[in-house]
Amino acid sequence: MILVTGGAGFIGANFILDWFAVNDEPLVNVDKLTYAGNLRSLAPLAKDTRHRFVRGDIADAALIGELLTRHRPRAVVNFAAETHVDRSIRGPAAFIETNVTGTFSLLDSVREWWSALPDAERAAFRFLHVSTDEVYGSLAATDPAFSESTPYAPNSPYAASKAASDHLVRAYHHTYGLPTLTTNCSNNYGPLQFPEKLIPLMIVNALAGKPLPVYGDGRNVRDWLYVRDHCSAIRTVLAHGAPGATYNVGGNAEMANLDVVRTLCRLVGERRPGLDCERQITFVSDRPGHDRRYAIDASKIRRELGWSPSETFESGMRSTVDWYLANDAWLASVQNAEYRQWVDLHYAERAEA
Ligand code: NAD
Ligand code: DAU
C-alpha cells in the first residue's frame, strides 16, 4: 500500500480518485482538513475499503510513526501543504509550520522507520515530494523555461517555504540515502480546485455576476497543466523515477492571465448562452512581488520516463468548466463563511486599479 498526505485537497483528491481508477493498491490518506481540505471531494470512495482516511497533521510524529509501523507503505506521496500565494503574503506563519517544519517532521519520521526496514524493502521504498515551479522564481519574456538545473530563487513566502522543503528532501537523500523523488510542477487546473485560485474563482464569480478581478495588467504568464495529467506524471515518477532525482512537470501551455480569463468567459458563454462575462473583467491592484512569468521545460520527464500531457489547454478548460457547472453542490459547500470572509477581506483591499 501507499501513504498519501494532503489527499483531501485539490491535487491529492484527484490523485486518489485516479489511483483507484487504474489499480487496486490500498492507500492511507492523512490530511489535517484545513480550509482547503474537503472530504466531499472523496465522496465516491466513501464505502471503498481500499481508501482509508485519517485526519492528522504531517508534523505529528507519533501519528505518522504509528501509521508507518501499522501499514508498512511501499511509498509516501507528500501533497500536504499550505498552497495559496496570496494567503502566504497575508500570513506566512502557517506556511513555515506545514511546508517547512511539517515536511521536516514527516521526512524524519519516515527516515527513522525506513532505516530499520529489511534491505529489500528499504531499497524498494520511495518518498515522493510534490513541489512547484515557483521555487525557481520569475522569468523575463525571452528567458528559457525552467529546467531541473535552474537555480532556486523563490520570491513569495509560499515559494520560499516550498524551496526549503525541497532542500530538506534533497538533504535526506544525500545524507541518509532515503530514496526520494521530487516533482516541480506548473500551475494545475481542473475539477475539485478550491475557488481561491484563479480559474475556479473566475468561474464562480462569472456565474454569480460578480467582478472578475485580474491583478495588475493581466500579462503575468503561467504554464497551465490539467490536474489529471499532473496525477499521471506523479504515478510515472513513482514507478520509474531514479532515487534522488527531481523532475519538472508542465503542460507546455503558457498563457497570460487575461487570456486565461477570456478563454474561460468564452467557454462559460457557450454553455450559458446570454452570459457575456468578459464585461465583468476588472483590473485590480497587483499582488506584491508578483512573479511575471513561469514556464517549464518538461523534456527530462518526457525523455527519461516517457511522460507527456494528454490534454491541451482548450480541452482541459472545457472539461473544467463543465465540471464546475455540473457540480454546484460541491461549489456551494466550499463557499462557506470562512471562504466568504477571505474573499471579502482580500478583494475589498484591491480596489479597482
Ligand atoms: P490544496 O491547498 O488544495 O490542498 C492541500 C491539502 O493539504 C489540504 O487537503 C489540506 O487540508 C492538507 N494539509 C495542509 N496542511 C496539512 C498538514 N499540516 N498535515 C496534513 N495535511 C495538511 O493544495 P493543492 O493545490 O492540491 O497542492 C498539493 C501540493 O501540490 C502542494 O504541495 C503544492 O505545493 C503542490 N503544487 C500545487 C500546484 C497547483 O497549481 N495547485 C502546482 C504545483 C505543485
Ligand atoms: O506554479 C504553481 C503554483 O500555482 C502552485 O505551486 C501554487 O500552489 C498555486 O496556487 C499556483 O500559484 P499561482 O499564484 O500562480 O496561482 P493563482 O491561481 O493564485 O494565480 C494565478 C495567476 O493569476 C497569478 O499570476 C495571479 C493571478 N490572479 C490570481 C487570483 C487569485 C489574478 O489575476 N486574480 C486573482 O484573483
| Closest by CA position to 147, among listed 297, 293, 295, 254 | 297
Q: What is the pLDDT of residue 229?
A: 98
Work out which ligand 2 atom sits closest to the CA atom of 185.
Answer: 2
Q: What pLDDT does 353 receive?
A: 63
The catalytic site residues sit at 133-134, 158
Going by DSSP bridges, is the β-strand pair 221-226/254-256 parallel, antiparallel, or unpaired?
Answer: antiparallel
> Which pLDDT value is given to residue 217?
98
- pLDDT value, residue 350: 86
Distance 86 CA to ligand 2 centre (A): 8
284: three-class secondary structure by DSSP: strand
Q: Do strands 27-31 and 2-5 pair parallel, antiparallel, or not at all (unpaired)?
A: parallel
Nearest ligand atom owner, CA of 281:
2
**What is the reported pLDDT for 351?**
75
The protein residue whose alpha carbon is closest to atom 23 in ligand 2 is 198
Going from N- to C-terminal start, the domains of the chain cover 2-193+226-255+294-312
Cβ neighbors of 158 (< 8 A, separation 6 or more) are 82, 83, 84, 85, 87, 88, 95, 99, 134
Q: How far is CA 124 from CA 70, 106, 114, 182, 304, in A?
A: 18, 19, 10, 16, 19
> What is the CATH topology of the domain spanning 2-193+226-255+294-312?
Rossmann fold (3.40.50)
Residue with cell 483507484: 20
Averages of pLDDT over each 10 residues, the chain, 353 residues = 98 98 97 98 97 98 98 99 98 98 99 98 98 98 98 98 99 98 98 98 96 98 98 98 98 96 97 94 97 98 98 98 96 96 93 68
The whole model's pTM is what? 0.98
Calpha distance 200→191 (Å, rounded): 9
| CA nearest ligand 2 atom 14, residue | 85
Looking only at the bridges linking them, the beta strands covering 187-189 and 75-78 are: unpaired
